[in-house]
Structure 1
Amino acid sequence: MAAADSASETGLLGFYVAQQNQGILEVSFDPAKAPEDALSIIATTEAGTQPQWLRGYKDKIYAISRTTFPDATSTSGGVFAFQRPSSTEEAWRPLKLLDSKSSHGQGGVHCDVSPDGRTLAATNIEGSTMAIYPLSSDGLIGKPAYKVEYTLKEFGPGAKGSQTESFPHESAFDPSGQFIFIPARGEDRVHVYSVPSADKVRQLEDIVVPPGTGPRHTAFRIVNRTKTFFYLLGELDNTIRVYTIDYIETPNRLTFTLHQTISTLGANLPPSPPDRASLASEMAFTTDGKFAYASNRNTISRGSDTLAIYSINDSDPANHLTYIAREKTLGKIPRHFALSPDEKNKYLCVANEYSNEIVVFERDEHTGLMKEVKGRLSLGEALFKARNGPACILWK
C-alpha cells in the first residue's frame, strides 16, 4: 500500500500552512471525500507576524515571520521552534512553542535546517541579512553564531524596485549539509558558504547570473557521492538554470558547471525581460527523478496562474529538462506548492496567495500531469494583495 493511502486510512494525511494573516494552520486531508469537503483546518498556532516559511525536522517544525518580533516596536522578523503533537490522539492540538529568537533583519522570508539538525539558517529579504544559529539536541535555538548584511553596489535592471537592494530570498542547505546557498534577487548572484557547523562559517565564491535573472530559490538532486544537480529558479527572468556541483574534498570547495537555461513560461522561450509581468516562484522534483514543476505568477491578470511541467533526463545535462505542458493552479499568485512525501508523490498542493486558498491536485505519476482536484479550501476573502494569504505548505 502506498504511504499516502495508508496515511489517509489512519487520518494522518495532511499538511501545515504558513497563513500570513492567521498563523500556522494544520489541515487534514481526506482524498476519499468530495473536493469541497476533503480539507479541514484542525488547529491554528500563532507564529509571529506574517509567517513566511516552514521547515520540518523530525518531530520539530521551524518557522520564520516577516516582521515585528518580538513586538510592534521592532521591524525584525522572528524564528520559531515548535514541537509537533506526540501522538495521533493529540493530532488536533496546536503546535507547542519551544523557543523563538529574532531573525536579525526585517522581512524574514525563509529558514532551513541542516540535515543533522544542528544548524538553522534564516534570511531576511527587506533587511538583506542572513543569520546562522546553532540548534540544541532538543531543538532550541541558540544565539546566532554568524550574521551578515548584504549590500548592493548598483541597481539591477529589474522593474518596480525589485533590484534596488540585495533582497536575499532563501537560505538553503545542500544535501551534504556542509554548504549553504543564498540566492540574492537584487544582486543577480548566489552567495555560497561552507558551514560544517554554526560557528565555522566561510564564504566561498559566488555564483553570478545574468543581469535581471533575479535568483529566488534553489533545489538539489544527488547524482553520486561527488556530484549533485543544482537548480536555480530565476524569479524575474522566469527560468530554471541547471548546474552540476562537483565536490572537491581537499581543499573544501565546490565547482559549478552550467548546462541548461529553460523558461518556466513555455517551450523554447528565451528568458523574459525583468519587467515583473510574470514572476516564477517555486520548483519541485519528484522522488523518482522523472518530473519537475515550477510555478508562475502573472501580475497583470486576475486569471488563473500556472504550473510548468518538465520531464527530466539525467543522462543529457544540456537537455536535462524538457518542457511538457502547463496546468492551471485554479487560483492567483501560487506563492508556494509542494509534492506529497509518499513514494509516488501522489498529490501536489498549491498555496494561491492572492486568491487566499489551497488547492490539492492528484498527480499522474506516468505523465506528470494533474489528474483532478482532490481538495480545495478557502482561507478567507480573496484580497488580491501580498502578505495576506498562504505563503508555504509543509506536508506531514
Structure 2
Amino acid sequence: MTTLYLGGYTTDQPEGRSGLARVTLTDRGFGDVEPLPGPADPSWLVRPGDGPDLYAVAEGEGSQVVRVRDGEGVVASAPSGGMGPAHLALSPDGRWLVASNYVSGSVGLVSTGAGGDGDGDGGTLELVDELQLEGDGPHERQDSAHAHQAVFLDDRRLLVCDLGSDRVREVSVEEGGALRHTGDVVLPPGSGPRHLAPAPGRDDLVWVVGELDQTVHTLGRDGSGWSVTQTVTTAPEGPGPGETTTGGIVVSPDGAHVYVSTRGTDTVSVFAVGERGHLTLRQQVVVAHWPRFIGWLPGQEGRRLLVAAEKEGSVDVWAVDQGLLEETGHSLAWSAPTWVG
C-alpha cells in the first residue's frame, strides 16, 4: 500500500472543498480520499521524506510558502517572495526552499530552519531573499518574466525556467542565504520554458519543456556553457482543438526515457534518449483531459506513472514496461488535481 498526497485548486471549487488530501493506492486501486486541512490553492507540494510534514505553495491570495503537518494543517508560513507561486523546490540538504512566482516573475529563497545536515526543529519558515527576473518574449503570454519552476543541480546551483523571457536562468544560493543570477540559457523565441528535468546523476544534461509551442529542448553543458542541441515536438500531428500547451516532464531513473504531457492534445509522449541526450518519439498515449502533472509513484519510480488531469478531475496510474506505457485501469476522481505524490 502506498500513501499519496493530492494538491489542487480551491478557487472556483465548491465551498469548503479542501485543496489538500490523502489517499491510499494498492494493487486493487485507490481507496477513499481523505480531505486534510491546508492552505488555499496548494497547487504544488514537496514531500521531504516519510515524516508528517509537507511543504506547499499557497498560490492564491497571500502568495505564501507553508509547512503543513498531516492532520494539523498549516504550522508555519512565509511570503513566497512574489506573487502567484506556481512551484516549490527543496535543496538536497533540506536547508532551502525556492519558490517560483509566476505572476511577478520572481524567485524567493525560504529558510526551512534545518541545519546543513537537514536537521532542525521544523518550527519556522523565513523568506531570506528574493530575485526579480527581467525580460519578455513574442507570445501574448510573454509580457514580462514568469518564473515557473526551479530545479536544484546540487545544494547551491539552480536552473530556473522563465516562461516569459524564453530563458532558463542559472542561479546560485550564496553562503548565508542570498540568490545570485549567474547566467542565462536562451531558448527559441516563443517557446515558453515551463519545466525541466535533469538526466539522472548528471549536471550537464537537461530536458526543458516549451509550454507555448509544444516542444522539448535538449540542453547540454560543456566548457563554454549551456546550449540547445535539439528541439522536438510533442504534437507531431499539430495542436489540439483550442488551447494546446505542454505540461509536465519526468525522466526514467535509468535515464533511458523522457515522458512529457501535453494539454489540449491530452497526450503523454514517450521519448527514447539517444546520443548526446537527443530524443526520439517511441510512443504517444491519449490520457484524460488536461494532464497538467505527471510524476512517478513513490517507491515505484520507472514502473508506475501518475497522471493528474486538471480539467478532467482525475488521477490515473499507468504501468511502464520497457519504457512504454500501459493502462492499469486505476483511476481516482478528484476535482482540479495539480500535484500528486
Q: What TM-score bracket applies, with the shorter chain setting the length? A: 0.7 to 0.9
Residue 255 of structure 1 is matched in structure 2 by 225
Matches within 5 A, 1:265-304: 265-266=235-236, 277-298=243-264
Pair 1:359–1:117, CA change in 2 (3 A): same
Larger-Rg structure: 1
CA contact (8 A) 2:187 2:228 kept: no
Matches within 5 A, 1:164-313: 164-174=143-153, 176-197=154-175, 199-222=177-200, 227-246=203-222, 255-266=225-236, 277-298=243-264, 305-313=266-274
Please tell me whether residue 63 in structure 1 is matched to residue 18 in structure 2.
no
Distance in 1 (alpha carbons) for counterparts of 2:305 and 2:218 = 23
Pair 1:62–1:289, CA change in 2 (3 A): same
What is the CA-CA distance between 1:105 and the residue it aligns to? Answer: 2.4
Pair 1:378–1:236, CA change in 2 (3 A): same
Please tell me whether residue 379 in structure 1 is matched to residue 340 in structure 2.
no
Distance in 2 (alpha carbons) for counterparts of 1:150 and 1:106 = 13
Q: TM-score if structure 1 supplies the norm length?
A: 0.76
Sequence identity percentage: 25
Residue 27 of structure 1 is matched in structure 2 by 23
Please tell me whether residue 358 in structure 1 is matched to residue 308 in structure 2.
no
Gapped regions of structure 2 (runs ≥ 5):
11-17, 114-119
Matches within 5 A, 1:82-161: 82-84=68-70, 94=71, 96-136=73-113, 137-152=120-135, 154=136, 156-158=137-139, 161=140
- What amino acid maps onto 1:143 in structure 2? E
- Partner of 1:49, secondary structure, is coil
Please tell me whether residue 326 in structure 1 is matched to residue 247 in structure 2.
no
- What amino acid maps onto 1:66 in structure 2? E
Gapped regions of structure 1 (runs ≥ 5):
1-7, 70-76, 85-93, 249-253, 299-303, 381-388
Distance in 2 (alpha carbons) for counterparts of 1:27 and 1:338 = 16
CA contact (8 A) 2:38 2:73 kept: no
What is the CA-CA distance between 1:328 and the residue it aligns to? Answer: 1.1
Pair 1:151–1:45, CA change in 2 (3 A): same
Distance in 2 (alpha carbons) for counterparts of 1:198 and 1:328 = 47
What is the CA-CA distance between 1:19 and the residue it aligns to? Answer: 2.1
CA contact (8 A) 1:64 1:80 kept: yes
Higher relative contact order (CA 8 A, sep 6+): 1
What is the CA-CA distance between 1:358 and the residue it aligns to? Answer: 1.1
What is the CA-CA distance between 1:377 and the residue it aligns to? Answer: 1.5
Distance in 2 (alpha carbons) for counterparts of 1:235 and 1:245 = 22
Pair 1:198–1:294, CA change in 2 (3 A): farther
CA contact (8 A) 2:200 2:253 kept: no
Aligned length: 325
Q: CA RMSD for the aligned pairs?
A: 2.4
Distance in 2 (alpha carbons) for counterparts of 1:150 and 1:344 = 34
- What amino acid maps onto 1:283 in structure 2? I
- What amino acid maps onto 1:29 in structure 2? L
Deviation digits for residues 140-160 of structure 1 (CA, Å, limit 9, x no counterpart): 4432221123344x5x222xx
